[in-house]
A and B are shown apart, each in its own frame.
Chain A
Amino acid sequence: MMAFSAGTAYKADIYRNMPLTIPPKMKFFFEETGHIARFTGKFFTEGFKPRYEFQEFLRQCFLIGNKSLSLVGLTAFILGLVLTIQLRPPLLRYGVEFELPYIVADSVIREIGPVITALIFAGKIGSGIGAELGSMKVTEQIDAMEVSGTNPFKYLVVTRVLATSLMLPLLVIMSCSISLLGAYIGYNIKGQISFELFFGQIFQWLPFSAIIPSLIKTLFFGFAVGMVGCYRGYHSTKGTEGVGRAANATVVISSFLIFLIDLVAVQITDLLGFTS
């Protein structure tokens, strides 16, 4: 028994004295992952505790949702129009032009609409959140809030992340609808189809499995954009330079995360049989 104890203590000494061989970049990556995980965990613990910053949440919803609608709507309209005009010739070649409304709708609703909207959202809202919180951090407004008795995490982070998570699916619904409107106009530029027939063909074949998984993944897109923006802003350093870095990093990381979540979502929906 004694021998075992002595041996264990010896091994512990070896590990303690062993030099850290992890490369600095990897170490930084793991550290960041750990920090983000803790930050995300804090969102869930703080978010469900009263007191709720409802007014700030509504204000953020307005700023994030309503203020992005024009940009998202315009982009979506162009997207639907262009997609229809470009898809028409190959479908004509194969003699399946009548399938164009459904093909455009399926691709817009399942993939293009959510991903493009989320990327625009990351560029506009994610960078805005990162820059706003970063400037508050470097000007010590967050510290001041803490001193004044307001929970800055609840007020700044929880409200923004909830707002991005809920507003992005709504924006995606809007953008997909506007895209289909653009597709209808695009179809009528080259060909001719009635409004009723166009949307009739879409909803004749469109399954629920195209809409529901798409909305669920946009919820995660919005959460990722909000969380990354808040984290980078909340932890920004080095003055005004840090604000710019926070905004930039938010866009880059959240764009990457959007594609990563999309990949995972496709795998899950495929496993559950929602892709057909």
Chain B
Amino acid sequence: MPAQRKNIVQLGIFVISGLALLLLALFLIGKNQHLIGSHYTLRAHFENVSGLRTGNNVRYAGIEVGTVQEMTIVSDTVLEVRMLIKRNMKEVIRQNALASLGADGLMGNKVINIIPQPGDAEYAKDGDLLPSRKAVDFDDILRTLSGTSENIGTISEGLKLTVTRINNSQGLWKLLADSSLDISLRKTAHNLQTATSNAEIMTRDIRYMVADVKAGKGNAGILLRDSAMSLSLQQTIEQLDEVVRNANKLAKDLDKITENIDHEIQQGDGSVNLVLKDTALAGNISRSLQNVEKGTASFNENMEAMKHNWLFKGYFKKQEKQKAKQQPPKSSQ
């Protein structure tokens, strides 16, 4: 092969490979943007597309199935998004599938997610309008976060106050600083353990007691379970009732007697009424008592005179000596 011809072949290879690479790149871009291939159109209405752009991806259950072809303003609150969808999805996407606006990560590109819904519906045809769901607005999230942070602020303020109070509490710190606290706690725990075991024993005893009572053992058992005892108890109660009735009658009789006595005292002709009611008698009695008092004083004087009489003086001295003997001798100081 002559050199010039060889050069031309090499040039041809160079040009063709360059053009092939260019065509391959264009094809791959076109394929990814769904400009090449067979497609159909679906529509969805949104209130706000949050920065969606022509060429953004459309996903069905997370798989890329198309791109956003066009966005038009239908009215002041409705935007229509037209989506180019791969034709092989015609037998997959149903009319009740929900179009929702999403994003690739927190800062990524916007995407439209077509979410399949339960229920039987016809397959979506070319130009069909899919129901749409309102997108989660980043501003709404921020607003909610703002409220949450305010709540956290309030909670932390309360916590701060609590901690300050705890810090300022002398008693608590003294309690915590008390080295004998652990011993006390240990003792308390031990006591609690003992109390628990006692309670356990008591419960067991009560259980046995209840079992005995159920079995009719012991006084309580007999009382509660013995039918004969029940009969005698009933008789006793009846007798008690009788006694109470008699006592009642007796009380009434006594009441009557008291009434009669009172009547007799108040209005009767006996000595009691005379003593209690006659004022002249009362004066007589008083005078008599005065006379008795005077008589007694005179008698005392006579007795004193007898003590000094030589006839009776010896008798009184003898009596004083006997009295002195009977008294115990006084201890010397």
Chain A interface (Cβ within 8 Å of chain B)?
Answer: 58-59, 61-62, 65-66, 69, 169-171, 173-174, 177, 199, 203-204, 206-208, 211, 215
12 inter-chain pairs at a CB distance below 8 angstroms, sorted by A residue, are: A62-B7, A169-B18, A173-B19, A173-B21, A174-B14, A199-B28, A203-B25, A207-B29, A207-B55, A208-B26, A208-B29, A211-B22
| Cα–Cα, bound, A59→B11 (Å) | 9
Complex contact A211–B25 (CB within 8 A): yes
The answer, among A58, A173, A206, A207, for a CB contact under 8 Å with B8, is: A58
Asked whether, in the complex, the Cβ of B25 is within 8 Å of the Cβ of A61, the reply is no
- Asked if B26 contacts A211 (CB within 8 A), the reply is yes
CA distance A62 to B8 in the complex (A): 7
Q: Report how far A204 CA is from B28 CA in the complex, Å.
A: 8
Contacts of B21 in A (CB 8 A): 173-174, 177
For the complex, give the distance between the alpha carbons of A206 and B122 in Å.
36
Contact A170 B15 (CB under 8 A): yes
List 9 other contacts, CB 8 Å, given A62-B8, A207-B33: A58-B7, A61-B11, A62-B10, A69-B14, A171-B18, A173-B18, A174-B21, A203-B28, A215-B22
Q: Are A58 and B28 in contact (CB under 8 A)?
A: no
Distance from B270 Cβ to chain A, minimum over Cβ atoms (Å) = 124
A220 to B18, CA, bound (A): 18
In whole Å, how far is A66's beta carbon from the nearest beta carbon of chain B?
5
Please classify how large the interface on chain B is, using the bins under 10, 10 to 19, 20 to 34, 35 or more: 20 to 34
The answer to whether the Cβ of B17 comes within 8 Å of any Cβ in the partner chain is yes
Q: Is the interface of A mostly helix, strand, loop or mixed?
A: helix
CA distance A174 to B17 in the complex (A): 8
Nearest B residue to A212 by beta-carbon distance?
Answer: B26
Which residues of A are found within 8 Å of B26, using beta-carbon distances? Answer: 208, 211
Closest chain A CB from B158 CB (angstroms): 36
A59 to B6, CA, bound (A): 11
Task: Tell whether, in the assembled complex, residue B29 and residue A211 are in contact, meaning their CB atoms are under 8 Å apart.
Answer: yes
Evaluate contact between B7 and A66: CB separation under 8 angstroms: yes
B279 within 8 A of A: no
Across the interface, name the chain B residue whose C-beta is closest to A68: B14
In contact, A170 and B28 (Cβ under 8 angstroms): no
Contact indicator A170/B19 (Cβ below 8 Å): yes
Contact B29 A203 (CB under 8 A): yes
Please state if B29 and A66 are interface contacts (CB–CB under 8 Å). Answer: no
Chain B residues with Cβ under 8 A from A65's Cβ? 11, 14-15
Which residues on B sit within 8 Å (CB–CB) of A199?
28
| Contacts A207-B55, A208-B26 given; does A66 touch B14 at CB 8 Å | yes
Answer whether A170 and B18 are a contact pair too, CB < 8 Å, given A203-B28, A207-B29, A208-B26. yes
* Chain A residues in 8 Å Cβ range of B11: 58, 61-62, 65-66
B273 within 8 A of A: no
B232 at the interface (CB under 8 A from A): no
What sequence of 0s and 1s flags, for each residue 234-267 of chain B, a beta carbon within 8 Å of any chain A beta carbon? 0000000000000000000000000000000000
A173 CB to closest chain B CB (Å) equals 5
